[in-house]
A = this chain, B = another copy of it.
């Protein structure tokens, strides 16, 4: 007797995204999506794909297993589409306080840096987050993760960075680690002690604090099993951490065993491509101001670009060079950049804005929110496509074509969300 966790049959479209074990899609390949018409799949008892094919192929595959075969759940997807769960490559989901009034300031024309100079911005959230307990922050985080899951995100990159001191950065990373162990969504943690220069310090002093105090404390806490930061991040920006400080911090993080995934070239050209090359950075985000030489450097370094269309839209920034990044062979991923300055939890809307505002195609956007986002958080071996051996994170779409997940904008036709082959959201309700 063989027991499987799940069978899905008769899907109008089963959107694998990849079917040849690609670990990312670059250049013209980013504009391709592997689809099986009348598709089916089997999830094994460990929550991984055991078989993927047409409904007929899977029928024969099942017959070839030791009989009898049983399925904990058998789902008929007639008229529906199946997609990989979405992966959000860049979020700041741990914070307290409110910044809703700053949105009004920005609409009235204040720039990001003017808001910061008036006592708002990141350092305002830092004050609130420092004052919040671990349990308060966890409750806020869990509520946000619930909403992301309902919007179809099954894996999320989650940054610290509203602490800017050892104690609060550790607190945030502990909260992220607790959620990673208890919430159904998959979480990849990023340490972002260099998110902003804390009040009362220079960038040089903050750099020393990060390198000499925060990172050593992180190493100890990681050894103790309290936190698990996979990436190190810095906001590399004029007037924040500039090129040399960024290099120092990222190198120290790398030496401490973290991979590099940083904010670059959002508001000013910062030579982020050169930084990617020097540090062999895994990923870089934002990139609105990146020039051709730096794009080529990113391509040569095989660094993933994580683009954030909602932030560009809200801050009225110029578009990052999505087309040139793709043309030069950089694998482009997407992130919601969820944070108190850009309150978007929805990867479907993020994809829509990537299409309308950054001139990506729908296929490029889906690749960017699945396999390439998985790659940007170094999870392409296990997530981001519907292929045998990967985790069975899935969306069931009440639509006859997968493009509806983008086309329908805010109110998407996501009917079910599955994590490791188990239903975690149905009809907008957490299960």
* B410 contacts A348, C-beta separation under 8 Å: yes
Bound complex: CA A348 to CA B355 (Å): 20
Interfacial chain B residues near A310, Cβ < 8 Å: 409
A13 to chain B, nearest CB (A): 12
A interface residue count range (under 10 / 10 to 19 / 20 to 34 / 35 or more): 35 or more
B residues in contact with A64, CB < 8 Å = none
In the bound complex, what is the Cα–Cα distance between A165 and B343 (angstroms)? Answer: 45
The residue in chain B whose Cβ has the minimal distance to the Cβ of A400 is: B98
A150 cross-chain contacts in B, Cβ below 8 A: 411
A32 within 8 A of B: no
Instruction: Looking at the assembled complex, report how far the CB atom of A268 sits from the nearest CB atom of chain B, in whole angstroms.
Output: 22
The stretch from A15-23, A34-42, A103-111 touching chain B is A103-111
A313 at the interface (CB under 8 A from B): yes
The 8 A CB mask of A343-356 against B (1 = contact, 0 = none) is: 11110110000011
Q: Is A407 an interface residue (CB 8 A)?
A: yes
Does A429 sit within 8 A of B, measured CB to CB? yes
Q: How far is the CA of A103 from the CA of B404 in the complex (A)?
A: 10
**Given contacts A345-B411, A346-B411, is CB(A103)–CB(B362) below 8 Å?**
yes
Instruction: Verify A411–B151 contact, CB threshold 8 A.
Output: yes
- Does chain B have a CB within 8 A of A361? yes
Report yes or no: A361 in contact with B107, Cβ–Cβ below 8 A: yes
Question: Once the chains are docked, how many angstroms separate the CA of A407 from the CA of B100?
Answer: 7
Q: A107 vs B103: C-alpha distance in the bound complex, in angstroms?
A: 29
Bound state CA distance, A80 and B107, in angstroms? 24
Number of copies: 2
Which of A316, A345, A409, A427 gathers most chain B CB within 10 Å?
A409
If A100-B403, A428-B429 touch, whether A344 touches B409 (CB-CB below 8 Å) is yes
Interface string of A386-412 (1 = CB under 8 A from B): 000000000000001101101111110
Within 8 A of B (CB), among A137-161: 147, 150-151
Smallest CB gap from A103: residue in B: B407
Contact of B313 with A356 in the complex, beta carbons under 8 Å: yes
Given contacts A316-B356, A356-B313, A428-B428, whether A403 and B151 have CB atoms under 8 Å apart is no
Chain B residues near A108 (CB, 8 Å)? Answer: 361
Per-position binary interface string of chain A over residues 297-327, scored 1 when its CB falls under 8 Å from any chain B CB and 0 otherwise: 0000000000000100110100000000000
- In the assembled complex, A359 has its CB within 8 A of some CB on chain B: yes
Write out the residue numbers on chain B whose beta carbons fall within 8 Å of the beta carbon of A411.
Answer: 147, 150-151, 344-346
CB within 8 A of A346: which of B151, B313, B355, B409? B409
Give the residues in chain B near A100, CB-CB below 8 Å. Answer: 401, 403-404, 407
Task: Looking at the assembled complex, report how far the CB atom of A150 sits from the nearest CB atom of chain B, in whole angstroms.
Answer: 7
The answer to whether B98 touches A355 (Cβ under 8 A) is: no
Residues on B with C-beta less than 8 A from A427 are: 429
Report which of B101, B314, B362 forms a contact with A104, defined as CB distance below 8 A: B362
CB within 8 Å for A356 and B408 given contacts A98-B400, A401-B98, A429-B428:
no
Q: How far is the CA of A428 from the CA of B343 in the complex (A)?
A: 19
**A147 surroundings in chain B (CB, below 8 A):** 411
A356-B314, A356-B316, A429-B429 in contact; A343/B104 too (CB < 8 A)?
Answer: no
> Do the beta carbons of B98 and A359 come within 8 Å of each other?
no
- Listed from nearest, the 5 A-B pairs whose CB atoms lie closest are A346-B410, A410-B410, A349-B410, A428-B428, A345-B411
- Return 10 A-B CB contacts under 8 Å, by A number: A98-B400, A151-B410, A151-B411, A314-B356, A343-B408, A346-B411, A348-B410, A349-B409, A349-B410, A429-B429
- 19 more CB-based (< 8 A) A-B contacts, given A100-B403, A409-B410: A100-B407, A101-B403, A103-B362, A103-B403, A104-B361, A107-B360, A108-B361, A151-B410, A151-B411, A310-B409, A313-B357, A344-B411, A345-B411, A348-B410, A349-B409, A349-B410, A410-B410, A427-B429, A429-B429
